[in-house]
Structure 1
Amino acid sequence: MWRYGCVGLALLVTTACFDTPPAQSMALLEGEINAGTPPGYCLDGAASRPGDGFAVIAPCAAFGTGDAVPPVVGVATVQVGQPDSGIVVGAETGLRDLLVSDAGARLLSTAGGANTITVLGSQVQDNLVKVHFVDTAPPPMAGLQDAEWRAFLDVKGRLVTVAVRGPADAPLTDGTGAWLLDQLVNALMRDDGSDTGGA
């Protein structure tokens, strides 16, 4: 699910390749869903594909905005599914059970192989399933750590996936990764005017 443009995990090195300025809010799917960001984070206008429901989020400082570096540094993606793709509401426990199975591991792996995934933890809330895992397959972006925090929720009948990783040379920990994932989910729901029911 990961795609990327100019954001590198020397996150705070300004580059000249950002033709589209970063923003802290982005309309996805022609405005059907609005993606927001927590403080210190911006949406990558060059790497995101709003028409496809896909957004890349990184510290604003990575885009040369002059913003201060946030205390927790990571890179995230948001992917919004097709109409009626929502599968979370009312089936949270079943989805969690799938994700911690071999079939779910194949879905989580960047290489599609269950043998690359070790699930470290999972959590279920109303309309929200979170999973923390390590993937030994090559990372989706050079320079990222092998641990990932991922959330699944339904927004307006669509499945939305939020994924977070940190830099390999300054990796997120269990606590900071989970915190950043929560901040991103809350920002998404805040800008969309929805409620996860306890994210």
Structure 2
Amino acid sequence: MTARWLRSLRLSLAALILPLAGCFETAPLTEAATRGLMPASGPSEVTVLRGAVRVAGPAGYCIDVEATTESDIEAFVLLVRCRMTLRPTPVLSATVTGLQTDGTPDMFRSLPEFMRSTPGRAQLSRSGDPRDVEVLEATYADGAVWLLIRDEGNPSSFDETYWRAILPVAGRVMTLAVLAAADHPFERDSGLGILQTFVRRMYAVNAQG
């Protein structure tokens, strides 16, 4: 493993993660939290980036149309429960980038170590400050990177600790997240289970097209 190869890998990782910066998600999350995360009456599925990617959550989740934002190179989609429940339930988010990938696992396998670094934590941070972020867990499994993160920059309505996955879907790099209400944090395995279901759903709906 040469020094040149390592430098090339770091540059490639930085290029891969750059569009996934947590700060891109801060404004729509904050806006949604400010108006109240009520059940959504939106559709169960939406297409983004000129129809390149379909976004859908697990059963019972709908698209919060007001919180969905899109540019030429990336899209953010918020999903909330379609119906009121007895206690606050986690909300889900999908950030889809214009960065194309063939899904080669080598690059994704290298991400867990990078995400623990200062540049990696800066990209995850809602504020852009790596000091706000602690990566509690970072693993690669089943073609995706699984991250348990504590971010002091999360909007105050949400718990600081949340789950995130980075994965290739429909030839694009995307990140999925599960966020709990600040006054109803989820247990580790519960949050991971929801994220795993979200990931499977995303693979399934995009395989259909």
Could you tell me the TM-score, scaled by structure 2's length? 0.75
Question: Cα gap change, 1:160/1:70 in structure 2, threshold over 3 Å: closer, same or farther?
Answer: farther
Question: Cα gap change, 1:58/1:70 in structure 2, threshold over 3 Å: closer, same or farther?
Answer: farther
The reply to whether residue 56 of structure 1 matches residue 70 of structure 2 is: no
Structure 1 letter corresponding to 2:57:
T
Structure 1 letter corresponding to 2:193:
W
Distance 1:158 1:169 in 2: 34
How far is 1:127 from its partner? Answer: 2.5
The answer on whether the counterparts of 1:72 and 1:180 sit within 8 Å (CA) in structure 2 is no
How far is 1:92 from its partner? Answer: 2.2
The answer on whether the counterparts of 1:44 and 1:58 sit within 8 Å (CA) in structure 2 is yes
Counterparts of residues 30-45 of structure 1 (less than 5 Å): 30-45=50-65
Higher helix share: 2
Distance 2:131 2:149 in 1: 12
What is residue 10 of structure 2 aligned with on the other side?
A: none
The Cα RMSD (Å) is 2.6
The reply to whether residue 121 of structure 1 matches residue 121 of structure 2 is: no
Per-residue Cα deviation, 1:53-86 (whole angstroms, up to 9, x for no partner): 321111112xxxxxx5398811121111114267
The reply to whether residue 103 of structure 1 matches residue 125 of structure 2 is: no
The answer on whether the counterparts of 2:88 and 2:184 sit within 8 Å (CA) in structure 1 is no
The reply to whether residue 158 of structure 1 matches residue 172 of structure 2 is: yes
Gaps of 5+ in 1: 62-67, 195-199
Number of residue pairs matched by the alignment: 180
Per-residue Cα deviation, 1:139-160 (whole angstroms, up to 9, x for no partner): 2x34111012111011233110
What is residue 65 of structure 1 aligned with on the other side?
A: none
The answer on whether the counterparts of 2:61 and 2:79 sit within 8 Å (CA) in structure 1 is yes
The answer on whether the counterparts of 2:96 and 2:174 sit within 8 Å (CA) in structure 1 is yes
Distance 2:64 2:85 in 1: 16
Distance 2:106 2:142 in 1: 8
The answer on whether the counterparts of 1:75 and 1:164 sit within 8 Å (CA) in structure 2 is yes
Question: Cα gap change, 1:98/1:86 in structure 2, threshold over 3 Å: closer, same or farther?
Answer: farther
The reply to whether residue 22 of structure 1 matches residue 42 of structure 2 is: yes
The answer on whether the counterparts of 2:133 and 2:149 sit within 8 Å (CA) in structure 1 is yes
Counterparts of residues 43-192 of structure 1 (less than 5 Å): 43-49=63-69, 52-61=74-83, 69=85, 73-84=89-100, 89-137=105-153, 139=154, 141-192=155-206
The answer on whether the counterparts of 1:88 and 1:129 sit within 8 Å (CA) in structure 2 is no
Question: Cα gap change, 1:188/1:173 in structure 2, threshold over 3 Å: closer, same or farther?
Answer: same
How far is 1:126 from its partner? Answer: 3.9
Amino-acid identity (%)? 22
Q: Residue 58 of structure 2: SS of its match in structure 1?
A: coil
Structure 1 letter corresponding to 2:113:
D
How far is 1:6 from its partner? Answer: 4.3
Q: Residue 168 of structure 1: SS of its match in structure 2?
A: coil
Could you tell me the TM-score, scaled by structure 1's length? 0.78
